[in-house]
Amino acid sequence: MSHSRLLELSAIISESTKALHDHLAKNDLPVPAFANGTTSVLANELSAVQDALVDATNELQDLLLPPRNFLFRLGAHNNLIPLQAIVRYDVPGKVPLQGDGITYAELASATGLSEQLLRRFLRYAITMRVFAETKGKVVHTAASRALIDPHLRGWLKTGSNEMWPAASRVVDAVTKWPGSQEPNETVGFLFHTAQYGGADFELQQGFTLASGNSQSIYNVFETDPSRAADFASTMHAFSTTPEMSLDHLTSYDLWKTCKSVVDVGGSTGKAALALATVHPHLHVTVQDLPTVIAGVGQDIAPELSSRVSFMSHDFLAENAAQPVKNADVYLLRWILHNWSDKYSIRILQSLRPALKKGARVLIMEVIMPEPGALPLWKEKDLRTMDMDMLTLFNSEERGLIEWQKLIHAADPHFRFVKATEPVGSALGIIEIEWDSI
């Protein structure tokens, strides 16, 4: 490393911090802080400044650590221990939102943990700015207070109870099943027992590695409402971020020129309802499994009920064929990343019997960037999601070239039209046309 890089990073941090400060002061906006009741959510117009600051400060910190300490930090698996304890014993809900906090003794009594163990958990969490300690009392920070949100708490429960132990067996899975594309030959969410309050956890590696259970994670959730609820909270926490806003879908230019849409795997119809609300000329059919759509159409506003309908359909059933024929658009939003190429190709091919010439298929998914194309902290988030797909489904987040290859492999008559990445969206939109009679 040249000495000039330290000065370059210093300049980036200084200039970007001043730009951020000036913008916040000019617009009378709060300064980011760790304290309870504050927020660090910055407006979109500050994203470039935020990217520069986060990447530069991270790089500077990494440069200043000796390689051994740097690697120790990367392998800090212990970070999840106090976080798992915090959500399992609902510590955020037991710390007062206002006032001078709660003593360790009072908090231990409320949680059922020993005071000594609770103090150890929380003082580790405090080093990560989750809670703070003032005069021997525990108080909230912005991060700990955020965990009062049941959806964010469900996300952390899923991460610590499911993903954490599963991640430790990913390499075992790819060693046992090299090159597999089967969803039941990966770690998944499978535990032989799943009583969150107990110690009797037996991880099944890839549905068969430990105890021979061949269920998929979907089968497991059907029989375990508690885990299903936590996973649903995780999906809610992700789907309600600005980056996942349905505005990125409804503002796409194709909707003005079509009338009928099929939302394949459309869950409870949120995307369909958003499309029908913004575009009054659209008629949308939502397809999903019977257990998903049961009763969901009953509360639709009268002005939308005539244009949004629900249909039971399993797009991976044996010999499945798309039942709604001649629609203008078939939408697959956040579906194919759950499936390996083998099954994604099958899903696309199942559409073919229904497609008229010129019909569009819209795939709304992450488009993985080339290395270095995004700020490093954002690229790392995407790479993390890719590892999640491997862990859970034996699938992946794909780059544009991988998407194009997948589409062509499904059928050469699927013609790639364009890929769009809306500003501020986590998902890109890949438009393909059926070029056959």
Which pLDDT tens digit goes with each residue over 145-178?
999 999 999 999 989 988 888 888 888 888 988 9
Q: Which of 7-11, 288-292, 341-345, 361-365 has the lowest mean pLDDT?
A: 288-292
- pLDDT for residue 21 is more than 80: yes
Kindly tell me if the per-residue pLDDT of 126 is higher than 70: yes
Q: Residue 236's pLDDT band (boundaries 50, 70, 90)?
A: confident
Confidence bin at 233 (pLDDT 50/70/90): confident
The predicted model gives 42-66 an average pLDDT of: 93
Mean local confidence (pLDDT), 101-125: 98
Mean pLDDT of the chain: 89
Residue-level pLDDT at 193: 32
pLDDT surpassing 50 at residue 81: yes
Q: Which residues are catalytic?
A: 337
**Topology, domain 242-434:** Rossmann fold (3.40.50)
Shortest CA distance to 315 belongs to which of 350, 266, 269? Answer: 350
In this predicted structure, the answer to whether residue 248 has a pLDDT above a threshold of 70 is: yes
For position 227, what pLDDT does the model report? Answer: 81
- Binned at pLDDT 50, 70 and 90, residue 341 comes out as very high
**How much of the chain, in percent, has pLDDT values that exceed 90?**
70
Whether the per-residue pLDDT at 291 is higher than 90: the answer is no
Least confident of 91-95, 188-192, 301-305: 188-192
- Report the pLDDT value the prediction gives residue 2, as an integer from 0 to 100: 63
Predicted local distance difference test score (pLDDT) of residue 194: 36
Q: Which band of pLDDT confidence, cut at 50, 70 and 90, is reported for residue 45?
A: confident
What pLDDT, on the 0 to 100 scale, is given for residue 143?
95
Q: Which fold, 76-146?
A: Arc Repressor Mutant, subunit A (1.10.10)
Distance CA 367, CA 426 (A): 9
pLDDT at 192: 34
Provide the pLDDT for residue 214: 54
pLDDT at 246 over 90: yes
Least confident interval from 37-46, 147-156, 256-265, 408-417:
37-46
- pLDDT value at residue 138: 98
pLDDT for position 11: 97
Which of 1-5, 258-262, 311-315, 417-421 has the least mean pLDDT?
1-5
pLDDT at 34 exceeding the cut of 70: yes
- pLDDT confidence bin for 121, thresholds 50/70/90: very high
Give the pLDDT confidence score for residue 173 in this predicted structure.
86
